[in-house]
Amino acid sequence: MQDLLDSALARIEASQNLADLEAVRVEVLGRKGVLAQLSKDMGKLSGEERAARGKFINQAKQTLEGAYDALKTKFEEAALAARLDAEWLDLTVPPAAAITSPAPGKLHPVTQIQWEIEDLFRSMGFTVLDGPEVETEHHNFDALNIPADHPARDMQDTFWLEGGWLLRTHTSPVQVRGMETLGPPLRMIAPGRVFRNESVDASHEHTFYQLEGMMIGREVSVGNLIYFMKTLLSSIFKRDVTVRLRPGFFPFVEPGFELDIQCLICGGSGCPVCKHSGWVELLPCGLVNPHVLRMSGIDPAEWNGFAFGLGLTRLVMMRYAIDDIRWLQSGDLRFLEQF
């Protein structure tokens, strides 16, 4: 009996892997295994012998199962370790996708130029204000000295909304909000999206961007206006620019001007870009109409100021020689990836 047990134990311990071990288990511990054989003739034994045999079988069972379990655990742990080894990842290696995928997104060219101008004006003590795109008739027109029957309303085709609301046609209403909430003295700019009810073509969009500016102080002059505009334009075009003022009409400024810059392409001698005039019309501006100050609660006897309206969309088109305004709102990546 002891021999049987010893050889069964030896066979278990000879297993090299889980598969061997399973085969041996069936042979040794299974229904036809050693233990089963030992129990087979129990019925023929005397009471004493049967007790001794029973005890032996129990111990043998424990020994064999113990050996089996120990080996099984050992093989399973080895298998797990092998698997972990095979599946090991170096998480510090940059993924291939990070190297080969397209570059991360960039800012839209209008945003780029807007942020540049914001930085410049902040450095000169201006506040950057935001205003609503859905405006009241009061802020967009009346408070800017454009009453309902004024012909200037026709200069800006308006998207009217229900209840007398409208989509702002320019960023000038933010001037009014700035005067109302901050009061004088005031240095503010207001970049933003504006809307016109126009048919779209290469040079007209229903949606585009402007940047409004306003300075109110005790003795603001056309000289101040020219200084700030020259600083702005030299910074945008990264060189000295020569400017000139021509009279222009806007109900909220008096006097009102069109500011031109000397053509940067030909230096003023005349070329197709400036239509051979030597000058390019760039931005409208003027001294704030006293009536506009008064309507926003500012005493024109004490305060005056200048205002200007810069077409951001147009500026981007000039800077990058973009010949069709529709590209800017297209969302077309072939266009946007160039900036």
Contacting positions for ligand DAH (CB under 6 A) = 170, 172, 212, 250, 253, 284-286, 307-309
Q: Residue 72's closest CA among 122, 136, 26, 16?
A: 16
- Which 3 state secondary structure label does DSSP give 254? strand
Token pair 């290469």: residue: 202
Dihedral of CA atoms 98, 99, 102, 105 in degrees, nearest 10, equals 50
| Shortest distance, position 299 Cβ to ligand DAH, whole Å | 20
How many angstroms separate the CA atoms of 285 and 214, rounded? 10
Alpha carbons within 13 angstroms on the beta-carbon side of residue 182 total 21
HEC assignment per residue over 267-321? CCCCCCCCCCCCEEEEEEEEEECHHHHHHCCCCCCCCEEEEEEEEHHHHHHHHHC
| Shortest distance, position 337 Cβ to ligand DAH, whole Å | 31
Q: Which is nearer to ligand DAH, 126 or 250 (CB)?
A: 250
Q: Which is nearer to ligand DAH, 248 or 270 (CB)?
A: 248
Using only the alpha carbons of the chain, give its radius of gyration: 44
Q: Which is nearer to ligand DAH, 64 or 285 (CB)?
A: 285
Q: Which is nearer to ligand DAH, 274 or 285 (CB)?
A: 285
Query: Which residue number places its CB atom closest to ligand DAH?
Result: 309
| Shortest distance, position 285 Cβ to ligand DAH, whole Å | 5
Tell me, what DSSP letter sits at residue 102? P
Dihedral of CA atoms 332, 333, 335, 336 in degrees, nearest 10, equals 110
Q: Which is nearer to ligand DAH, 41 or 130 (CB)?
A: 130
| Shortest distance, position 165 Cβ to ligand DAH, whole Å | 19
Q: Residue 315's closest CA among 208, 155, 205?
A: 208
Q: Which is nearer to ligand DAH, 236 or 312 (CB)?
A: 312
| Shortest distance, position 212 Cβ to ligand DAH, whole Å | 6
How many angstroms separate the CA atoms of 220 and 327, rounded? 39
| Shortest distance, position 191 Cβ to ligand DAH, whole Å | 13
| Shortest distance, position 156 Cβ to ligand DAH, whole Å | 7
- Which 3 state secondary structure label does DSSP give 107? coil
Q: Which is nearer to ligand DAH, 109 or 309 (CB)?
A: 309
| Shortest distance, position 107 Cβ to ligand DAH, whole Å | 24
Task: Please list, in sequence order, all residues whose beta carbon lies within 8 angstroms of the beta carbon of residue 115, skipping any fewer than 6 positions away.
Answer: 107
Q: Which is nearer to ligand DAH, 68 or 208 (CB)?
A: 208
